[in-house]
Structure 1
Amino acid sequence: MKRILDRADERILAELTRNARIPHAELAEKINLSRNAVRQRIERLERDGLIHGYTIVAGEGRPAQSAIAAMIFVYRHDRMRGGDVISALRRICEVVSCDVMSGEFDLVLRVEAAEPDRIRLVWQEISSLPGVRDTHTSFALSSVIRR
């Protein structure tokens, strides 16, 4: 059963999106709930799949080994029954996002790796998947908005 979010849940998600490390006590003060109520709500949001995990977005002081990003546009043989392709993509750790698209392309992937050669190997793996008809790849020159 899908649970409906109330205003407090929405505010918790918004605050955690801004700062996933915010202490429960500070978050509780911001949304006028007790610390224990905030903790219980966060645990429920995690259990219900509304929070899948927490991540780190490296800032400007990041070490020199920054990732190279490429967008891979994928055409599948069958748009409606191409679930095998998506299942295979989930197992490739360099694929950091996958969006199902309307229009010309079926899928848009963001692939990140430390070296361009690794992107080429990932592209070869994706291109050879059964169900993939064609691909088009573009390297990102810079990333100006990253959330």
Structure 2
Amino acid sequence: MKRLLDRADERILMELTRNARISHADLAARVNLSRNAVRQRIERLERDGLIRGYTIVAGEGRIATSTIAALMFVYRNDRMRGADVIQALRRIPEVVACDVVSGEFDLVVRVEATEADRTRQIWQEISALPGVRDTLTAFALSSMIRR
């Protein structure tokens, strides 16, 4: 059984969101706990699935790799029973985000690939999925905010 988060857990998550590389000692000082208590809480948060991983957001100055970002708006045949489509999207490594949305579309899928041809292949794969009625794709021209 997963425990409810207390105030210390919430503060730990907030601090790790700001800086996932913060040392346990620095984090302990910020949340008024011992370093060992912070380590144990982080391990529990990971076990319980509240922390599912750590990521790197590359900043300016990195070696440029041309990544093509595309937003694919997906219409499903049945909005309420389209879990198969989402499961298939999880298996495509270039799919970096998928949101269920209200309004005209059912899903917004963000694809980041290194080649335009790979983006086309992914589009064909998604369009051919059982349960997908139609798609609309827009390529990102530039990324203004990235977190």
Q: TM-score range by the shorter chain?
A: over 0.9
Kindly provide the amino acid, as one letter, of the partner of residue 57 in structure 1. V
**1:5, distance to aligned residue in structure 2 (A):** 1.2
Give the drift of 1:2. 4.5
Residues 84-103 of structure 1: matches in 2 within 5 Å? 84-103=84-103
- The count of corresponding residues between Structure 1 and Structure 2 is 147
User: Does the residue aligned with 1:57 lie in a helix, a strand or coil?
Assistant: coil
TM superposition score normalised by structure 2: 0.96
Q: Percent sequence identity over matched residues?
A: 80
Q: Which residue of 1 aligns with 2:121?
A: 121
Structural RMSD (CA): 0.9
Residue 111 of structure 2 corresponds to residue 142 of structure 1: no
1:4 maps to what in 2? 4
Q: Which residue of 2 aligns with 1:81?
A: 81
The AA in structure 2 aligned to 1:29 is: A
1:66 positional shift: 3.4
Partner letter of residue 45 of structure 2? L
Write the letter of the residue equivalent to 2:79.
R
Instruction: Mark the runs of 5 or more structure 2 residues left unpaired by the alignment.
Output: none
| Unaligned stretches of 5+ residues in structure 1 | none
User: CA offsets, 1:77-127, max 9 Å, x none?
Assistant: 011111100100000000000001111110001100112221111111101
Q: Determine the structure 1 residue equivalent to 2:45.
A: 45
The Cα offsets for residues 39-71 of structure 1, whole Å up to 9 and x where unpaired, read as 011011111111000011001022121321110
In the aligned structure 1, how far is the partner of 2:85 from the partner of 2:2?
A: 27
Distance in 1 (CA, whole Å) between partners of 2:54 and 2:66 is: 20
- Matched position secondary structure for 1:80: helix
